[in-house]
Each structure stands twice: as C-alpha cells, then as structure tokens.
Amino acid sequence: MVANVLSIPPGKPFLRTLAEALLSGQIVEGFCYDGDPLSLADVTFYVPSRRAARSLAAAFAAVLGESHGSRSAILPRIRPLGEGDEATIFSASGEGGGGQLPAMPELERRLNLARLARAWRHLADRVPGEELPEGTPERVTSASEALWLAGDLGVLLDEIETEGTSFAKLAGLAPDALAAWWQTTLSFLEIVTDHWPKLLESRGVTSEAAAKNAWLRSETARLLAGGAKGPVIVAGSTATSPATLDLMHAVAHLPNGALVLPGLDRHIGSQGFAAIDREVAIAAPGHPQYGLKRILTRFAMAPEAVPHLDADLSPRLARRETFLSSALRPAETTAHWAEEAQAFGPDALDGVALIEAADPRIEALAIAVAMRDALEAPGATAALITPDRRLARRVLAELERFGITANDSAGKPLSNTAPGTLLAAALTVALEPGDPVALLGLLKHPLCRLGRPAIAARNAARAIELIAIRGTVDVADGARLGEIVARRIDQIESLPAGEIGRLLTRPARNVRRAEYEAARLFAQDFAAALQPLATLRGAEPREIADYAVAVTNALEMLARDETGAPAELYAGENGAALAAFLSELVAAPQTGFSFPAEELPDAMEALSAGVTVKPRGGLSARAFVLGTLEARLEGIDTAILGSLNEGVWPAGAKSGAFLSRLMRREIALDPPERRIGLAAHDFWMAMGAGRVVLTRSRRMDGAPTIASRWLQRLTTLAGPEASAELAARGQAYVDAAEGLETAADAPRIARPTPRPPVEMRPRRYSVTEVETLIRDPYAVHARRILKLEALPPLMRAPHARERGELIHAIVADFVIKGIDPTEADAAEELALIAREQFERAALPGEIAAVWWPRIERTTQEFLSWEKTRDETVRERLAERSGASEFPGIGVTLSGRSDRIDRLKDGRIVILDFKTGSQPSVKQARTLLSPQLALEGGMAMRGDFEGTSSGETIADLVYVRLKERELKEEGLETGGTKTVQPCDPTALSDTAMRRFEGLAALYLKPETAFGSRLRPMLAADFSGDYDHLARVKEWSVAGADDVEGDGE
C-alpha cells in the first residue's frame, strides 16, 4: 500500500490546520466530520509531547465551535510520544502490555547510578602498571557530585537506548586506540555497560527509555495486526528514535492511517535534498530538513511526492518561505545563491524585523516592547521563542512593567519559589552553621511562622535580629538560637540603665522590653524546629529517604501557622510541587546510596534542580514565552526569536560528557550536529509566523558575540539593502526600549550642607568623635542631630577587633591590679589575668585554640617592655576617664585614656595601645587624628583622674601590640630619628585650642555640617552615612583616585 504522508507548511498554524484538515476529510480517505458528536471518538492521534496534545485538543474545540457550530463532541484520543526533554509519560506498570517489565522510576535510577559512580575506582586501581594522567581524581568525592554525574549518565543511557544501539558496542571500543583520558572514561562507563544491566535484571525492571521503546513497538505491532478501529494519525514528529520511525512507517501504510510532517521544505529540490546526507557532508545532520529526510528515505519517497495541507499561503509568507529555503540550503549547494539572489526582491523579508541590541538587558526590554506592540491588535498573540532561559526571565520581568504576565512554558524552578527557598535555607542553617545571612533569611522567611500569626512572627524575628544577631560575636547556629537569644537578653537586663547604650545601638534600643519574652520564645521554637535536622550533624551516613523524613518534619514545624497546620507550606502550585518532591523522596527505596548529613544541602540542590512549577492560572492567554520545541507546532501571530547567537541558538555541537565524536560514531549514535538540525527545524517553523522579530545582543557576559549561522545566511542572501531595512525595523524597538530607560536630565545635586538650629547642635564631644567632626561633619549631624545609627553588622565570629579588645583588657587589668612587672611572679600573674579575660570573652573553642598562643606571645612582649620602662616610670594609671569644660562656648570634651604613666621626673606620658597600624604618627602630629593630643591636653588641665592642672607632657605614644613585636611610636620624634621633633606639650595645647575653635565654629548658625570635607580616602564610600549624603552622586572622585587626607 502507498504510504499516506502529508505535510503542513511552516506558514500555517500546524495544530489548527491539522484539525481543520481532518474534519474536512483531507487527511484520511473516507473520513469526514459529519456533525455526529461521536464520530471523532475512534480517531487516534500521536503527537510529540503532552503540551502538543493539550494544544491539539484546544484546536479541535476551537474549530468545532467556530466552523461547525458544535457545542459538544467527544474529541479524538491524543497520545504523546514523549519526544524532546519532556519527562516520560510511560507508567511504571508497563503500559504496552505483553509482559513488559515495569520501568524503574527516575529517582531510583539516579540514586542507583550515583551509588555506582561514587563506588567506582579508576582502572589504574585494579590493573597493576596502568598509569593515568596526572591529577586524575581517584573517585567521586561527594553525594552532590555523584548525583550530578548520575544525571549525565542517565542522559547517556537514554540516548543509547532511544537510538536503539547496544551497550555491547560501547564495551567493544578498543581502549588501546584511545588517549589515556578516554581509556579512563571507558573504564568508568563499565557502570553503563556492565553493572547497570545487571542491576536492572536483578530488580526485574527496565529503564524508562526501554519501556518507551517497548511501548512504541507494542503499538506498532497492535496497529499492524488491525488494532485500529478508526483513523490513526502521527503528526508533528521528526522521528527522534528508530522505534518512533517504525510506528510512523506502520501508521502511514494503514488503510486508515496518515503521517503528517511539520514543515517539509517544498522548494529545496532534489539536488538540495540529496545533499542532506551524512555520507555526502559531515554537517548534513545540522540541516533543518535532516530529520524529515531520514523519514522520507525510510519511505523511499521524494519530497515532491508529499502533498501539503492548506498549501496556499499569503503572497508575503510564500515569498518568505521560498527565501528561507534558499537561505538554509545545504552548504554544498550555496553556489545557487548568486542566481537566486536576483530573483528575490526587497520584499522577501516583509514582516520580519531584526533587533541587534548592545547587551542582553536592552535586548530583553526591546523584546518586551515588541510584544507589547504586537498585543495592540485585538485578539492577537505573541510569543518569545528562545532556548535562553536567562533572556526569558529578563523578558518576563520587563513585561511586568506593561502589566503583562506572560505564560511561560518552562515554569520556574522550585528553588525560586517560597517553599523552595525555605527548604534550602533550613538545610543550610541546620547543617552548615556559621552563616548569619542564611540564619536571618530563614528567621524572616514569610513561611517561617512557628505557630504564630504572620505579623507576630515578623515582629519576633525583627526583635531577635536587632538584639541578638546584629552587632554580636558568636557562631550563627540556628539550632542554638534559643540559647543565644536567652543569654543576650540576660546580658542586657543585667546592665544598669545608664550602660545599655554601650551594649546596644539605637535600633536595638528601640525594641521594647515587652518584646523580649516573645523573642525568647520564638527563638526557642525556632531551635526546636531545626532539631530533626541538627541532630543529624556528625551522625552515621543515611539514605535520602531517612533525610527526607527529617526535612519534612523540620519544614512543617517551621511553617506551622496559628492553627498548628503548615497550610501555607503546601498551598498553591508552589506548595504542591514541594509536597510532590518531598513525598517522592520519602518514598524512595533503599539503594545503598548513603552520605553524611553535612552533604545534604548540596545533594538536595542536585535532586531538586529539575523540579519546576508551572502556574495554573492568572496568566495571559495571548503572550507566551516558549522553548523552541514547544513553539514548533503552535500558531502564533507574532513570533520573537530571541538570543540568535552562536553557542545559544544554536548551541554548540558538544559530544557529551563521556564520549568523543569518534566514539559516538563507533557505537552508531547520532553526531552532535543532530541537535543543531533539530534547532534549525524549530527556527524554520518559527519563521512561518505572520510577523517575526529576530533578536540578538552584540555582547554577552562582557564579550562580543557571533550572530547565529542562520541569521548570517539570511542577511547574506538578502543583501545590504534588504538587511538594512530589516535592521531599521528592529531598531525602532531598540529606540523605544532605550527611550523607556532614558531619564530626564536632572541638575546634579550639591554636597549636602545641613544647618540645623543652634540649640540642636552637639554641646559634648568625645575625643574619638573629634576626628569625625574634622573629616566628615555630616556623619556627626546624622548621628547626633538626626539620631540615625547604622544597623550593626550581622553576627560574626570573633576577629581582629575582638582580639584587640581582649589584649586591651589584659594590659589594663595588669596595671589596675598594681602588679610590679619586675617581680618574679609577674609573668605568672599576667598569664592568670589573660586566662581570666579569655574565660570572660567566652570564645568558641576553635578560635580560642588559635588565639591563645598569639596572646601569650603578645603578653610576653608586653611584660618585657614594661620591665624596660620600670627605671623611668613612677606610677601607672589605666583606663582613666575625664572631661574638659570650655565655658566660653558651653562645650564639653570627654575621653577615656588607655594609659597615663607618670615618670620619676614628674612629667607624664599618654599611651594609646593599638593592635593595628592606624592612625599613623603623621596623622596624629598633623592633628587630623587628634585623639592622643586631646588626651594630652585634658591631662595638662588635670581633667583625668590622677592628674592635676599644669602637667607637662613628656610624650604622646602609640604602643603597637603585635604578635611578635611590641613597637613604641612617640609623637615627639615621630617614631624615627629622621623626623623633626615636636613638643608634645605644645601639640596638646594646640589640639585643645583647635578643638575649641572647631566646636565654636559649629555652634554658629551659618556653619554647615558638610559631607566628607577631609576624607581618609577620596574613593572610599563605605562610611555609615555616605549613602544618606548621596556621596556618589555629587562626588567627582573616581575609582582610580588615590588617598584623600589620610596622611
């Protein structure tokens, strides 16, 4: 019997045309819809995917309602073939019947493959004398690595079984003919050739790809045996597997069967068709007609013999189809371009525009503008068609500015939903303690309710953040949060009211005492909710099902609302996706793939990577974002083909993770160019839309891009004039997009110069605050007058600042206790003080173990230094506070000196202990950093306890307490003999007079608190109030600027 093979041109909506053709009797001889609601019930369609099945059913409903006035009818049976990347639709029970083995579920397969991958050792471990390339890893090290590798192995397994080749061919590759790395790969692939088939046999199951092939063969046999009562039609497939091709061949030869091909090129000619052959040209699989050529070769049919349904196109689409056929012809026949180019007029690409944007951001916005423009026509549809998910996400976001929520066929990853982020955050906080950002993210997560109303949960989380997570030094461990918060609250409540400001910043002081108890209880419940996971730390390795139970329990405890139920966790399509994912993990069989809990966050990321959520409603019925496969059969008024750059569309011809091009050929797998051919066919079909917009960006990730080979062919054949018109039509969208981003010129703001009322200006300064008043008066204004304080940094482990404070406390305590450094037991007494301060600091064990030897060396250096000074020092005063009054202006200067030493000659030395290198002696001598000199001036006035008026300053000294060296830097000599000496008494007096003048200046109503008058570094904008002063807007400083007045 002659095969009944038909085609629908790319200029027609495939599925609607298919429905209309069947109803009008054009597909199967003797069948025509007669208005009987039951007449379609015996019709069977085989289509590539489930989306195509749904769309075909919708097309039938639309055509029946519009053209035939049918209000009800039983639609045909529409069965998906499961082509492309779509998850298999073949059940584990063996749908084909006939004793077919059940398919192993995908999760079970991946876990088994991961176990085999992690257990594998290289050939060199088993064959003495075999050497592998240097640096070759000996084994898969982590659970996540094994799971990702298992995913790649699964792709190879599916490809081998789908293509109908044999594992034996893979095992038969001669290792000696391959490089050492490929020999290693072959030894690894024994998992596929040896262990995997044995595992399947022992379990009495088969793979999903094999189950699909068996189902297709079963369907083929059933149809050939007369199992079809009504018409049978295979439509839209390009035969990605031999089993599918067998089914198509059988159906096309049935008396009531038909094969309908998508977009067979009717202009290519016999010469061009003959050139699409792997034996003729290595690049032949990359041609858009390669798959259809393979089908027609099986049927021994010429393309001219294939009728086209609804072949009459509009003149514009007919010209475009002819032009595209020529532009995409095989490379071996492009010699015809010279003569064909003359036949094509400038209108060959009417209705086509080309957007060439500077970068992906402008490309996405221009696409959004084009879609918005296309939707102006009543009832019109528009779709972005692209394999680039980054571009798709950008366009979806840009469409929101126009109020368009496009229907995205890919959905969104579970990891980008609220339940998915809760899952990731809970695992990180419970099993990888130490990250305060993750801890705070989980604590303030909208689903983290812990049995409370949402507003109560948020208030408690805010209180915990301000009093226990910000500005504290500890390990950010969610499982200990109850203990951390309770200790912090006890610490706050034990302080006198006047000292709380020393411990808490203004934002934390705004937390009412009444909120403390709610915060304490919330933290306790939070820690308890994480216990199912936290108790797994350091435990014996377990399998994913055991972990999934603990994960589910923890998430449900975290997400409990005031009714005690985790309703929001599983609400909507996002929650349903999480529930399905966790349920699958909980039900996962024991496979022997176990791993420690510390690897669970990364392993869960690997397992959830392919889980997507597709919204069920609330989306546009006219705006779409489609992948290239989904778009192939859809009828769209305006198609926007995005990311037409080499490496994106089409993607590169990659041979895969395990097989070289030669190895693929040896085992009869399709070459990598086959994927390019499928992408080219998708491009060919998409170009049949009424209006087409082609887009690309000239740069991506900072590097120049190369236009897609198809785009290059189009512009080459079209010639400069037509290409310019093409670009001009696209440039209109780019100009509109850039116009949306162009803001009206605004006057450049000036440096802020606030002038608050005199009565609001500070009348008291600390010696440490004076440097801020000199360098950045605006910061003083913001903190002291506006009462603004930056949020403290998040909880962190102790570091240099805490180590410095600890050393300060040790050396101060040494003096306060009156220990004589020359006594025999001085070193023992100093060590005892250091131990006491260490215990008081309550450092984590791992930090204390590192710090203690350093502190010991520093204290030894300190004691040696004290001994050298004993001959000249009569009295040591530590941590003395004082205040100097300036009655002429009504201002007070306060300070606290680290150390004042009275020499035996009656003079005094002001000491400031530093563990860092700032401020420098030069900054102190020039009074840009006047703290030390101001302390000297206060001592000269007798304003420190233990001093009297008229004191003489012998020196002002920075004592640098380094781990292996203690260094004195006195301002008198500048720390070196080469610097001109200065009189510390005169310097102290000058500092006091300058401060008085400065304070008086800022009490004048006309004096402004300017921003960054003398910054330390001109290009450093990290000050607490720089963003408030909008420094980057008015500053002329650039990234290459050097220091300001730091020195």
pLDDT tens readout for residues 511-547: 888 899 999 999 999 999 999 999 999 999 999 999 9
For 350-411+617-741, the fitting CATH number among 3.30.1280.10, 3.40.50.1000, 3.30.70.3450, 3.40.50.300 is 3.40.50.300
pLDDT band at 495 (very low <50, low <70, confident <90, very high): confident
Looking at CATH, the fold of the domain delimited by 758-1031 is given as Lambda Exonuclease; Chain A (3.90.320)
Calculate mean pLDDT across residues 697-702: 93
Over residues 385-426, the pLDDT tens digits come to 999 999 999 999 999 999 999 999 888 999 999 999 999 999
Give yes or no for residue 457 having a pLDDT over 70: yes
pLDDT score recorded for residue 226: 86
Mean pLDDT of the chain: 88
pLDDT band at 363 (very low <50, low <70, confident <90, very high): very high
Collect all residues with Cβ–Cβ distance below 8 Å to 753 and sequence separation of at least 6: 1008, 1009, 1010, 1011
Give yes or no for residue 746 having a pLDDT over 80: no
Structure tokens at 752: 């802020």
pLDDT score recorded for residue 976: 56
Do the bridges between strand 542-543 and strand 594-595 make them parallel or antiparallel, or are there none, so unpaired? antiparallel
pLDDT band at 1037 (very low <50, low <70, confident <90, very high): very low
Per the model's pLDDT, the better-predicted residue between 1043 and 364 turns out to be 364
pTM of the full structure: 0.86
Calculate mean pLDDT across residues 923-950: 93
Structure tokens at 940: 């000269």
pLDDT band at 917 (very low <50, low <70, confident <90, very high): confident
pLDDT band at 333 (very low <50, low <70, confident <90, very high): confident
pLDDT band at 126 (very low <50, low <70, confident <90, very high): very low
Structure tokens at 1047: 């020195």
Residue 238: how many CB atoms within 10 A of its CB?
26
DSSP-based three-state secondary structure for 781: helix
pLDDT band at 131 (very low <50, low <70, confident <90, very high): very low
Structure tokens at 617: 């409603």
pLDDT score recorded for residue 941: 95
pLDDT score recorded for residue 180: 63
DSSP state of 981: P
Provide the residue type at 188 as one letter. F
Answer yes or no: are the C-beta atoms of 494 and 486 closer than 8 Å: no
Collect all residues with Cβ–Cβ distance below 8 Å to 1024 and sequence separation of at least 6: 779, 782, 783, 789, 790
Do the bridges between strand 232-235 and strand 44-47 make them parallel or antiparallel, or are there none, so unpaired? parallel
Give yes or no for residue 597 having a pLDDT over 70: yes
Separation CA 543–CA 593 (nearest Å): 6
pLDDT band at 614 (very low <50, low <70, confident <90, very high): confident
Collect all residues with Cβ–Cβ distance below 8 Å to 179 and sequence separation of at least 6: none
Q: Give a three-class secondary structure readout of 886-947.
A: ECCCCEEEEEEEEEEEEECCCCEEEEEEECCCCCCHHHHHCCCCCHHHHHHHHHHECCECCC
Exposed/middle/buried for residue 462 (C-beta within 10 Å: 0-12, 13-18, 19+)? middle
Q: Where are the alpha helices (DSSP H) in 225-302?
A: 242-252, 269-274, 290-299
Order across the sheet with 407-408: list the strands: 352-357, 691-697, 638-641, 382-385, 623-626, 407-408
Separation CA 741–CA 738 (nearest Å): 5
Calculate mean pLDDT across residues 711-733: 94
pLDDT score recorded for residue 165: 82
| Exposure of 168 in the CB half-sphere (CA atoms within 13 A) | 2
pLDDT score recorded for residue 1038: 40
Helix and strand element counts for the chain (H, E): 39, 23
Over residues 271-284, the pLDDT tens digits come to 888 889 877 777 88
Calculate what percentage of the chain has a pLDDT beyond 70: 92
Give yes or no for residue 113 having a pLDDT over 50: yes
Residue 717: how many CB atoms within 10 A of its CB?
22
Answer yes or no: are the C-beta atoms of 124 and 116 closer than 8 Å: no
pLDDT band at 160 (very low <50, low <70, confident <90, very high): confident
Lowest mean pLDDT among 140-149, 368-377, 777-786: 140-149
Nearest to 625 by CA among 643, 609, 611: 643
pLDDT band at 360 (very low <50, low <70, confident <90, very high): very high
Separation CA 783–CA 785 (nearest Å): 6
